Chains A and B, each alone.
Chain A
Amino acid sequence: MNLDEAIDMIKECLTQDFNVEVNFSEYKPCGEKPLNLIAIDGSATFIFNVSTLWLGIIRVCALEYEFENGYYLRDRREEEYVEIISTHKALNDIQDKLLRNFPFATPNFIINELRRLYEINLLRKIAEEKKNVIIAMDGALTTTFLKGLDEEVKKILEICKKNENLLIGVAKDSKTHAFHHSITDVELLERKAKDKDYCYVELPESFIKRCKPPLYGKAYFARLFPKARWFRIDIANEAPPKLVFSQLSCYARSKLSLGYVYPLVEAHKLAIKVNQLREIYEERFKEEALRKGIPLHEILRGITNAEGRSYGAYHTYLDEISEW
């Protein structure tokens, strides 16, 4: 293919028919003070690797915001966990379950599943403690791949109902093709709803059934501020979407993150401190490891790079060569 042909293909893609049936629903932004919103997010990083053993840190956090023509932080919770992960043999029950179902699981896969587990644990605590709030999880409302967790999620949904908490999940980046079109759903909606301000669409049931791990709510795409980008928002417990989006739109008016739920920005910032503070974790690990008799050269050899990869890995060397 030459360049001309490539450009023609792009042109064809851009001018193709977007005549897919999408049922937009409109809503009005909340005119009164909305419910407080608690944003939950988590992050994880590895700081040490020796052979098949990986030392990881997981951080999950929840931030409660009140909206009063501004976003005011009312409560916060941060939890941090140290995890040793082995891809060779299970070191605890959870890892055992994961390795049995996913024998070729990578350390990253395992630590991410653990992170989601801790997020769900934190969600349960928040759902029990708080009443009449919106709880916004970062990402779609999926369970983890761990078997048996569905029961835990069901319990959380019941608690939310009892305490009149609205549970939602907001995905930052969605690459789905739920409307069976070659372009992503976000792009499709942007093209089709140029003149619509506050609106949403529900994702087809067929799409939800295909999701793995399974969703525990209904999935929507919503525009929370006029002309802002679309975000996928999952709503649990069959809560009325008009009510939810009307409330959420207040939290999506930040000049900093127009159309996106601002407290989730802050929860994300807080969670990824686990990466930003890795030097501090490393130092502490070094001190403790030395104290317990691990030789310094072993410690230094095992410290991982910023992506959590071992420094000795050959691809690190290849990356360096590639920069030339």
Chain B
Amino acid sequence: MDKKLYGLMAEFDTTTEVVKAAEQVRDAGYKKTDAFSPFPIHEMDEALGIKRSILSFLIFGGGITGLLTGLALVFWTHTIEYPIMVAGRPHFSFPAFIPPIYELTILFSAFTAVFGMLLLNGLPQPYHPVFNVPRFNLAMREKFFLLIESADEKFDYEETKKFMESLNPQEVHDVEE
């Protein structure tokens, strides 16, 4: 091998097979693993031991930021910087300020949801070693792939390859860096 090995990838045909294989990989003690599927498989989170993402908390934080921004904007504008008297109502007439505050809350949360998701996923990432496997262009069409990275502590080329072949895959591919 002249090129550095990123890991080994096993290819599967069905959802059930890949989830069962992922469970065995997890039980064998591999940590740096990943699965690739053309649609989200809920069972995969548990099978691979994926912890719940902090994303929802980030979005909550984004929402709170939006709320406070909106509140600060209308409060500062209407009581400090540019008070306008409308129909003898208080300068800080909260019910009338709900719509802008509300919309800003949603706007900030939505931005956090999308950009937080992309950031945590490390996207955009045009290049990734898995794309070097020619069969991988079926990953977003119909096939399922299971990856063990060479950076894993337990990784040993021969042994891991033998282990992956025992999972009954269609094929085991070398993933070059």
Do A and B make up one complex?
no
